[in-house]
Amino acid sequence: MREIRKVLIANRGEIALRIIRACRELGVKPVTVYSDVDAGSLPVRLSDSSYALGGSEPSESYLNIEKIIKIARLSGVDAVHPGYGFLSENPLFAKRCEEEGIIFIGPSSRTLELAGNKVECRRVVSSAGVPTVPGVDRPVELEEALSFADKVGYPVMLKAVYGGGGRGIRVVNNPEELRQAYSIAAAEAGTAFGRTALYVEKIIKPARHIEFQILADRSGNVVHLHERECSIQRRFQKLVEISPSPALDEELRATMGEVAVAAARAINYMNAGTIEFLLDRERRLYFIEVNARLQVEHPVTEMRTGIDIVKQQILLAGGEALPFSQDEIRPIGAAIECRINAEDPLSDFAPSTGRVIRLHIPNGPGVRVDTALYEGMELSAFYDSLIAKLVCWGVSFEEARRRCLRALNEMRIEGIATTAPLHKAVLEDRDFISGNLDTDFIERRKILEKVKKQIEEEKNSVQLYAVAAAIAYFRNNMQRPTRQEQTRERRRIVGARYYDLI
């Protein structure tokens, strides 16, 4: 066991702020790094000390391993927390921390290498009895992908072997599409992950996307913190996460939890992570991948279990044992997370940049907002568009849903476009209310069309209101007497009263 007294946070934005708060509550000193763009950010202001990485591009700053290692040595930290994204699943970064005697708050570099190689991870967990999506457990060339697709039938999915986050993925419906998509997916994978290798899987449709949060200590103890359903997605990017999943009964939940723990043990997992599954119409489960890091949607689980996952990450990395058994984890109520992105729904969700001129963060019972926004903040185009996470808890799913809608209506982020209208449309949809979810929910329910119509109607209402207000102002001012007329009228009235008195 090694005490962690000082942590370098190798990230930015809301997740850096989230880690700072966990450090404070543990009595650990937080140290941050920042790019030129983030020099005035809240994480920089609220950490004990902060060090400039320089540059604005991620490759110059938050993806520069040697710069971060140098700062870790200079600042004398005991550990590095990578957050999510950037270097969080990079085995080379974890390896450099290990070589420098710095604790990496996450899995070992060996586990990261295995989890990052999707086909090798599939092979290992499959040998442990974990069911996987039918596919080829090795990188494939185009001809082999075509042969597999002919055998199992279209549609199939091309996926980056070293991918994640929805990048390097293409759905194809016939041989011609596969030939066209192969080079595109390989190029995207090369740009995003530095490696172009692809593999191919059969598509499970309709399907629900369900993941289990796990925690594991160095002694081999592994528990799961129950499930989150992430079926509501757009272009393989998660939009809304809920827990518990309306698709699971207690028997299936227990089975999936056991399978998740088995998958984690198969790859010698340590620290916090997520085991992801697809669930088909016949309620058969299929392992997809391991997310070997803290998830964006971890607050959903925290709201139901009361377990601070980030604090547990730090304690587990220091060598402490899990403080609870599986039977002691008893989630209560329901939770929903909406990922608020700085994107314009009317412009095909293009990133929105600019200055935040007005900001109101909703609160009240059962409402949590994780964000690093502040009024006057300038949003750049250099980083991910996620700007806030709205998480609402309720005794029931319906209470959580209504709270989330109330909070969305209270939220004000002006100066930039956001995806808040999309979340309102989802939460008001009858299939969402009834729990009829799948990974095609957004397209099947025509949510984007509803959002665009709603925004146009709101803009028209605002414009009509502005015109009506202008007409009223004009009429009032046209009918208002001049100052000279007002003076003459006052004299007439006063004079009349005077003569009445005498």
Give the residue numbers marked as catalytic: 293
Spatial CA neighbour of 391 closest among 11, 14, 12: 14
Spatial CA neighbour of 303 closest among 364, 237, 243: 243
User: Roughly what angle, to the nearest 10 degrees, separates helices 298-305 and 309-317?
Assistant: 100
Burial class of residue 485 (count of CB atoms within 10 Å of its CB; 0-12, 13-18, 19+): exposed
CA angle 102, 106, 111 (to 5 degrees): 105
Spatial CA neighbour of 38 closest among 65, 10, 72, 74: 10
- Collapsing DSSP states into helix, strand and coil, what is residue 134? coil
Give the number of other CB atoms < 10 A from CB of residue 281: 11
CA-to-CA dists, residue 66 to 72, 74, 101, angstroms: 10, 12, 15
Is the C-alpha dihedral spanning 194, 197, 203, 208 positive or negative?
negative
Pairing mode, strands 222-234 and 207-216: antiparallel
Element counts in the chain: helices (H) and strands (E): 17, 22
Q: Mapped to the 3 state alphabet, what secondary structure does 36-93 carry?
A: CCCCCCHHHHHCCEEEECCCCCHHHCCCCHHHHHHHHHHHCCCEEECCCCCCCCCHHH
Alpha-carbon distance of 225 to 212, in angstroms, equals 7
The encoded tokens of residue 101 equal 């005697």
CA-to-CA dists, residue 15 to 12, 71, 309, 415, 458, angstroms: 6, 19, 13, 23, 33
Query: What distance lies between CA 193 and its chain's CA centroid?
Result: 19
With beta carbons less than 8 A apart as the criterion, state whether 125 and 119 touch. Answer: no
**Helix or strand (DSSP H, E) at 98:** helix 91-99
With beta carbons less than 8 A apart as the criterion, state whether 230 and 291 touch. Answer: no
DSSP H helical ranges for 117-174? 118-127, 142-152
Which residue is associated with the tokens 């929903």?
336
